[in-house]
Amino acid sequence: MEEVDIAIIGAGVIGLAVSYILSDVSKEILVVEKNSSFGQEASSRNSEVIHTGIYYPKDSLKSQTCIRGKELLYDLCSRYNIPYKKLGKLIVASDKKGQAKLDNIYRNALECGIKNLKFLDKKKIKKLEPDVDAESALFSPDTGIVDSHSLMKFFFNIAKKRNINFTFSVEVIDIKKENSLYEIIVKEPDGERFSFRTKFVINCAGLWADKVSDFIGMDAEKFHYKIHYCKGQYFRIRNPKKFSITHLVYPPPNEIDLGIHVTPDLAGGLRLGPDAKYVSDIDYNIDEKEKNVFFDSVSNFLPVLEQDDLIPDTAGIRPKLQGKNEGFRDFIIREESEKGFPNFVNLIGIESPGLTSSLAIAEKVKLCLTTH
């Protein structure tokens, strides 16, 4: 039976970043992806925002990896010509409730060491964004956008150049522990099954990460690894030139998401979204009836918006550990020796800011491997 050092399950931005970072530790790495190419799930169905880490509790993994990941990502993009733009972001408020949320974000950001946020009044908002109507805003100058496909292509190309192997259209369907090794059982598109052995397993399976962990016997319910699907839809603005938007513009955040925001993209387009709804199936269709909700929400701070400006765009699904009506849950980045599975690294619940955090998450995985 074939044997490798490290098996990475999933070639989204996390699996790719991990393969890129680990490619200087080992050459015997196999990345297994069930789709025919990399990055076809959450990693290509998101807002492509480089977050700064202002929302997450101090010292949480989301906070740590976002703050570090943002620095690493800006540096990588500028060194290797990966398209990105540091646009800056306004979180706008028009009532007392919204203002209180901005105050909380500001306090949290300070606690996390982010000191360059600024409050803007109505006049200053108008100066920056003439089309935006709000009483106050919190301005985050370091928030940006990145071309996620180019980023993933960069990780993939470099990893391949360093002799990392990728196998596509091959699904991991079971994992068995064999003394100090793991046997990975996979299914090919024609239904054929084969197995290989590996010393290390890195579970980067996104929406399916709880199932992959379950294969080896880590029960998702028992260990609180169950993933809840939370769908986010986008509408695109038909005629972006009608608007003078040059920054990201967000409402105050909700319990489960950051609110339907306006995101300029690198091609000069404008997108609204995502919304947030818990769902039971993975289905990327857009419910056009939701257009009203998007319109009502965004026209609150962008009054020049008209219903006809909106056309359905894409949707993504967040792999949330936080269930409906539950509180904050952090990323899980864990080497599972304590549960009896040494050298098995679980990455579970890697929702936003996973894209921003990808390089910092990969660094943490490297640390897991080198300290166990």
Ligand X SMILES: Cc1cc2nc3c(=O)[nH]c(=O)nc-3n(C[C@H](O)[C@H](O)[C@H](O)COP(=O)(O)OP(=O)(O)OC[C@H]3O[C@@H](n4cnc5c(N)ncnc54)[C@H](O)[C@@H]3O)c2cc1C
- The binding site for ligand X (CB under 6 A) comprises 9-15, 32-35, 39-43, 45-49, 51, 171-172, 204-208, 212, 232, 274, 316-318, 350-356
Residue 341 beta carbon to ligand X: minimum distance, rounded to whole angstroms: 17
Residue 85 beta carbon to ligand X: minimum distance, rounded to whole angstroms: 13
DSSP class per residue in 195-263: EEEEEEEEE--GGGHHHHHHHTT--TTTTT---EEEEEEEEEES-GGG----SEEE----SSS--SEEE
C-alpha closest to that of 42 among 213, 229, 180: 229
d(CA 85, CA 106) in angstroms, rounded, equals 23
Q: Which is nearer to ligand X, 136 or 250 (CB)?
A: 250
C-alpha closest to that of 365 among 197, 204, 158: 204
How is the chain split among helix, strand and coil, in percent rounded to 5? 30, 30, 40
Return the biggest CA–CA distance within the chain.
Answer: 69
Residue 204 beta carbon to ligand X: minimum distance, rounded to whole angstroms: 5
Residue 130 beta carbon to ligand X: minimum distance, rounded to whole angstroms: 25
Q: Which is nearer to ligand X, 145 or 305 (CB)?
A: 145
Q: Which is nearer to ligand X, 34 or 291 (CB)?
A: 34
Cα dist. 227→88, 219, 283, 349 in Å? 32, 12, 16, 7
Residue 275 beta carbon to ligand X: minimum distance, rounded to whole angstroms: 9
Q: Which residues of 186-215 are buried (b: 16+ CB within 10 A; e: fewer)?
A: bbeeeeeeeebebbbbbbbbbbbbbbbbbb
Q: Which is nearer to ligand X, 132 or 359 (CB)?
A: 359
**Neighbouring C-beta atoms of residue 318, cutoff 10 Å:** 26
Q: Which is nearer to ligand X, 136 or 225 (CB)?
A: 225
Collect all residues with Cβ–Cβ distance below 8 Å to 194 and sequence separation of at least 6: 185, 186, 188
Residue 153 beta carbon to ligand X: minimum distance, rounded to whole angstroms: 14
CB 257 within 8 Å of CB 98: no
Q: Which residues of 62-79 are buried (b: 16+ CB within 10 A; e: fewer)?
A: bbbbbbbbbebbbebbee
Q: Which is nearer to ligand X, 119 or 194 (CB)?
A: 194
Residue 206 beta carbon to ligand X: minimum distance, rounded to whole angstroms: 3
CB 9 within 8 Å of CB 172: yes
Q: Which is nearer to ligand X, 120 or 207 (CB)?
A: 207
Q: Which is nearer to ligand X, 42 or 218 (CB)?
A: 42
Residue with nearest beta carbon to ligand X: 354
Q: Which is nearer to ligand X, 39 or 98 (CB)?
A: 39
